[in-house]
Structure 1
Amino acid sequence: MNQTNIATKPLFEPFTSDKLDLPNRTVMAPMTRGFSPDGVPGEDVAAYYRRRAENGVGLIVTEGTGINHPSAVSGASIPLFHGEASLNGWAEVVHEVHRVGGKIVPQLWHVGMTRKKGELPNEEELPVGPSGLTLSGEQATEPLTEAEIVQMVEAYAQAAVDAKRIGFDGIELHGAHGYLIDQFFWEKTNKRTDRYGGDFVGRTQFAVEVIEACRRAVGPDFPIIFRFSQWKMSDYKAKLANNPDELARFLKPLVEAGVDIFHCSTRRFWEAEFAGSELNLAGWTKKLSGKPVISVGSVGLDGEFTSFAGANTTSLDGLLKKLEQEEFDLVAIGRSLLMDPEWVKKVRNGKSDDLLPFDKKALQRLY
């Protein structure tokens, strides 16, 4: 059995919840890779995830995978989560990860209005969103009809069923960064006046129906992780909730719908979310919801991922302090793990000098 470096011990305590047990607190963050031709993950993708599992990652969250809707993704090499070929590919990923003792969940995704007209894989399909508005607020298409929304909810539920059937350990719903579910949350992209619109609590209705449908589909014991963010890819200063009271009201319907764990996406984990407290978004979410939370954002690196530039390694002391204080429960690592599949093992063994700085060339291959 590997000895854990005493300085990093909080990161390697087991995690236990009512539906998910993990050997440590590390999570591989979902990162779009685009190495799945025609939406089908192959042996190289399976090996990519296996390498992280065999080097000690507690939980792997896959890159975003497209639900069964023709405009769910942007790009012919983004993996899909429907159709025999794609699901067989994901079944092999699960097999490889489980074979070395790892745990893995797929991130279920629809990009909504961030998709541009004419993009593959279905270039004739238009982008869709709650009000047909781009993230800059421009009218690009017609709003989704209620019937179309119901079909979308069913597509998420079917993906959840398929995830359970092929052996995944849970699911993550992508409700962050200005993609479809987040477009329903955000007042700039949701101008609806029906039950899917209104104030910031009313705008949670689509997410609530997706979560409820997934919960009905997979039963009471299958973990549902929900990822959300304040910021959008188009607006780093955007806010869904401006204070703890608003955040509590936003989270309540999601908890009641069936979320087990919240994945709280920030660009820098060390930044306080609201004035008057050092808690980050994950810390506030845990405090207000009572649910376990995953924190994320430039872990182990000195530059945020949204710059898409290189970044040097940096101390984990601040992260470990927050974790030891139980501000959050799990830590998602992105670019560090993208660059180095042995990152978790090196940290566990106290080999910080062997950690690799992030080089953007890592985006071009599967290490």
Structure 2
Amino acid sequence: MSTLGRLITIHQPRRLEIGAGAAAKVGEWADFSTRTLIVATAATAPYAERLGLSGAVKVIDDVPAEPDLPAFESVLETARSFQPDLVVGLGGGSVLDIAKLVAALWNGKQSLPDVVGPNRVAGRTTPLVQVATTAGTGSEAGIRALVTDPETKSKMAVESPFLIADLAILDPELTYSVPPAVTAATGVDAMAHCVEAFTNIRAHDLIDGYARMGFALVGKYLKRAVEDGSDVEARAGMMLASYYGGICLGPVNTAAGHALAYPLGTRLSLPHGLANAIIFPHVLAFNQPVAALKTAEVAAALGLRDADSQDALKDAAFGFCRDLGIEMRLKAHGANADDLGCWAEEAHAIRRLMDNNPRDMSVADVHAIYKEAY
């Protein structure tokens, strides 16, 4: 059934630059800026020199992989002291999320808890540039930002059109140094965004188009990017796949896959991409009975052969991820079997995502998936 008659809203960056050397476009675009705050990590901060910025530049290089509220507030305090007229996110999804929130909140009266949820950000007056250095989250394309609550270990999710970038940069040269294991895991994360939006109960024909392009690019380029990190075509293809996934998140969002992945990040400290890769085969197969045609499209795009049944599909998708070099067993990552039940309850309670899933998933179903992944 067509969904073209259903109202959706899509927000995209006002300008996108993609291709080798695109990072230098930041300086050309930001000729108005005299005070630039760059939010980065120790690994991505050296790329600041490629942006071509002039004037006073302050680089924050210690954003953690899974930032919590105190980490965000530390960056916010630095921003308020520096008083930037431009904020640049330079890194992976966590960095880009922090940059979004800092640009929107540093010169206002709202705190992060004030803006958790949809459409609570009062506005933004500081321009925002997002420079992706991984191909996974698609955060540079989106209106959402996630920060961990240190007390509950849950994700504080902010959604607002005021978080969209004025300029997004996809420069494949900035991903050359990403290790193969990280390339693989973040690539599966990008694919999961597209697949979960594609099979979502809120799926829309327009977003289906972006999703199809996204997981097709993953099927074509992810293995190449893992095998040769300097393959510029593969790296650019994966950055575009990630960007498409970010577009999918806005009007549709993810579903059970990401809900199950979040406790693995907050409780087990797994990187977000790795957590999603571990969960991906299990949720793809779980949803297959109610999304057979779309799941078959995904399987074909990824080259998953003889995947008609749930078990065969799970095995094929598991093999796809494993063959990229991803360690798929939770036990190998330090998980304790006794914790799986609590994690299942926690994941099941993330209704903003679980309610999007095409097939109802009980706490027992979640627990079973965790045990299979263990």
Whether TM-score is above 0.5 comes out as no
Give the TM-score of the pair, scaled to structure 1.
0.32
Give the TM-score of the pair, scaled to structure 2.
0.31
In proportion to residue count, which structure has more helix? 2
